[in-house]
Amino acid sequence: MPVILLTNHYNEGPFSIVQEAVPEGFSLVTLDEPTKEELIKKAKEAEYFLVSGRLPIDKEVLDAAPKLKMIQRTGVGTEMLDMEALKEKNIPIYVNPGVNAVSVAEHAVMHILAALRRITIVNGNVKKGIWAKQDTGVKSKELRGKTVGMLGMGNIGRNVVKMLSGFGVNIVYYDMFRLKEDQEKELGITYYSQEEVFKKADILSLHCPLTPDTKGIINEKSIALMKKGVVIVNTARGGLIDEAALIKALESGQVGAAGLDVFAKEPPDKANPLFSFENVSVSPHVGGLTYEAFKSMMVEATHNMKLFEEGKVEELESKKLNK
């Protein structure tokens, strides 16, 4: 019976969804706690890794898994994978492109609206008994008429565009791989250089992967190019933002508000200065984890393993990462 090792630890609710998704004829092994030591301990019997969470899948882990045939990501991020070590061992990696794109896109739009309507401040005031209707209202802003700048126009970015289409916004974007002209026209978006997107955006939403080129892309230099009072929303990867630079810009008012689902360190320290700003909405990297998205991630991921076990690898070609 093929053994799947889930490289994360889930509580009862999420774990029950994973259990239901496991194909007949497979067994599921889980970690008692999310540590590398536990991962190495449980890896020896695994033929498949279902990679979730941020535990590194490095040479030490792979050396502890002599039976490993294939690695399946629940999503698309690969920063936890040692690609060189996997290449050396000739272990194929499969991802689930777009599986939670709608969920993340909805979360990004939520943070945008929360920032403009100052929901974190308004919510706190009402709960304190402060009912300053007019004073509160005139400090908030509409989304209509704003320029939304987007870094990255993959599955998530395109879903954000579609969701924003009814708000009467102007959308500009930058992506290393520019869309075709007919795609841009259909989406109603305009391509600019990265620098121009920084300059034009009233709201900047990040939807690019974390790579050596994008690490710290939001920094003192890039923030200085932006409009005073810009809103920055990050539902991609925490490492895209130099948090010290963001804190400084929030203090000066150069950044008017931020919506953060991801952080440089996860979970962040309780004393993270970003938590002290009333105009910063935060969430625990849950953009892609609605019930519907989580279930789809697990069902598709385990189905891919079943196809692989049955030798139907041609059906997985579009999902293979290291071709």
The residues annotated with a catalytic role in the active site are 237, 266, 285
Q: What 3 state SS string does the chain have?
A: CCEEEECCCCCHHHHHHHHHHCCCCCEEECCCCCCHHHHHHHHCCCCEEEECCCCCECHHHHHCCCCCCEEEECCCCCCCECHHHHHHCCCCEECCCCCCHHHHHHHHHHHHHHHHCCHHHHHHHHHCCCCCHHHHHCCCCCCCCCEEEEECCCHHHHHHHHHHHHHCCEEEEECCCCCCHHHHHHHCEEECCHHHHHHHCCEEEECCCCCCCCCCCECHHHHHHCCCCEEEEECCCHHHECHHHHHHHHHHCCEEEEEECCCCCCCCCCCCHHHHCCCEEECCCCCCCCHHHHHHHHHHHHHHHHHHHCCCHHHHHHHECCC
* CA end-to-end span of the chain: 27
Which amino acid is it at 303? H
**What are residue 282's DSSP bridge partners?**
260
By the 8 A CB rule, do 70 and 3 touch? no
C-alpha to C-alpha distance for 152 and 177, rounded to whole angstroms: 9
The HSE-up count of residue 182 (CA atoms within 13 Å, CB side) is 0
Which amino acid is it at 136? T
Query: Cα Rg for the chain, rounded, in angstroms?
Result: 21
